[in-house]
Amino acid sequence: MLLLLGKNPFEAYRSILQGAGILPKTRYAGKKSQLTDFMSLLNYTTPMIFAALSVAVALKSGIFNICVSGIMVFSGFIATILVGYSSLAPIIAKPLVVLIGVVAGGLIGVLIGYLRHRFNMNEVVVAIMLNYIISYVVSFFIQTRFVDPITRQSVEVGQNARLTLFDYPIMNLKMEINLVFPLALITVFLIRYFITRTRFGFELQAVGLNSKASNYAGINVGKTVITTMLISGSLAGLAGVSYYLGSNASIQPRVLPALGFDSIAVALLGNTSAIGSFFASLLVMIFDSGTTYMSSRMQVLREIAALITSILLLFSAIGIFFRALANRYAREVEEV
């Protein structure tokens, strides 16, 4: 495709990696280096990890959580107005933001789980409806109360509440340090332990595989579904605060973050496992942040970034087919 536009594809891939801070660039602006680019990559990857985990956990118990975007906006908004505009000391404000993210996200998650269980509502429809309700209501409040007249977005949150430190001087370099990235790493392992090693994780998977059989086997399906959505919602809430009070600082009214929808594909790309989601997020975000650099260096349109990402996901989706083909071939060889 790049060939079509008359550009060298290998050069393009190299600049993607350079932009993402994996390979060194030829020139850097003052006080920037490969390390700063890499840290910025981690900064943008953090919300994606949380969002992908959220989708993955829900999928394990057979729930398709398409509401990640809505939950992100909701928790981001709540945290913004409660803490973002306050003048609390950073040491209190930052953990509070994380806590609010978890609680706000968890609430929406429980709501979806409850509606699905109690009223047998299709969670996809509920989630789509909630997405738009949240998006429009939040946009209403932003435009009437918290709008920044220049950017047409919500007023930026204070530095005391932000989960990312920008231009933080370390070793003579200006770095972006995402304070919740370690939390994301810990969460990945916690979720993995939780799903594969605990009784509840087993029940959760059993409900996902066959909810009727699980019910027969004495598992409380409703409780499992609601708890799963609690976890999934909290993770999405974390994604929201790390997105809106971390890598970004304001909320754009009427816009649902594309990241929430992309995370579905990312979680599936990671085979809905916690570790897989982590690496899938990293991979997708490398492309995402790297292509910006590539497009500026190679004079191609910026939109090509999203295009490359989606084609990548397209092929990874078909990858399952080729794996199945390989398996079948292997089996035939064995039989002979």
Partner 1 sequence: MDSIIIEGIAFSIPLFIIAIGGIYSEGSGVINLALEGLLGFGAFAGGLSYALLSSVITGNPLLLIYASLAFAMVGGALLASLHALMCIKFKANQVISGVVINMLSVALTAFLANQINASVFGQPSNKFLLEIFPKVTVPLLSKIPILGAVFTDLYTFVPIIVVIALIMAYILYKTPFGMHIRACGDNPHAVAAAGGNVMKIRFISVLVSGALAGLGGMCFAYSISTTFSPNIYMGFGYLAIAAYIFGSWKISRTFLACILFGFARSAGYVLVQKLELPSSYGDLVLTLPYIVTLVLLLFFSSKTKAPKALGDVYE
The type of residue at 85 is Y
* Complex with partner 1: residue 82 or 306, whichever CB lies closer: 306
Least CB distance from residue 179 to partner 1, whole Å? 29
* Complex with partner 1: residue 133 or 209, whichever CB lies closer: 133
Beta-carbon-side half-sphere exposure of residue 313 (alpha carbons within 13 Å): 22
Alpha carbon distance 209, 5 (integer Å): 47
Least CB distance from residue 134 to partner 1, whole Å? 9
Tokens encoding 205: 């998977």
Residue labelled with tokens 């939040």: 138
Beta-carbon-side half-sphere exposure of residue 189 (alpha carbons within 13 Å): 5
Least CB distance from residue 128 to partner 1, whole Å? 5
Helix ranges restricted to H, the chain: 9-19, 34-60, 68-79, 90-119, 123-145, 181-197, 199-209, 211-216, 221-242, 258-269, 274-298, 304-335
Least CB distance from residue 72 to partner 1, whole Å? 15
Tokens encoding 114: 């409850």
* Complex with partner 1: residue 161 or 286, whichever CB lies closer: 286
Least CB distance from residue 47 to partner 1, whole Å? 17
Alpha carbon distance 205, 217 (integer Å): 13
When computed from its CA atoms, the radius of gyration of the chain, rounded to whole angstroms, is: 21
Alpha carbon distance 164, 180 (integer Å): 8
* Complex with partner 1: residue 190 or 255, whichever CB lies closer: 255
User: CA dihedral defined by 206, 210, 211, 215, rounded to 10 degrees?
Assistant: -70
Alpha carbon distance 39, 47 (integer Å): 14
* Complex with partner 1: residue 31 or 328, whichever CB lies closer: 328
Instruction: Enumerate binding residues for partner 1 (CB under 8 A).
Output: 64, 115, 119-122, 124-126, 128-133, 136-137, 139-140, 143-144, 253-254, 256, 258, 261-262, 264-265, 268-269, 301, 303-304, 306-307, 309-311, 313-314, 317-318, 320-321, 324
* Complex with partner 1: residue 216 or 321, whichever CB lies closer: 321
Least CB distance from residue 318 to partner 1, whole Å? 4
Alpha carbon distance 238, 332 (integer Å): 47
Least CB distance from residue 244 to partner 1, whole Å? 18
* Complex with partner 1: residue 136 or 193, whichever CB lies closer: 136
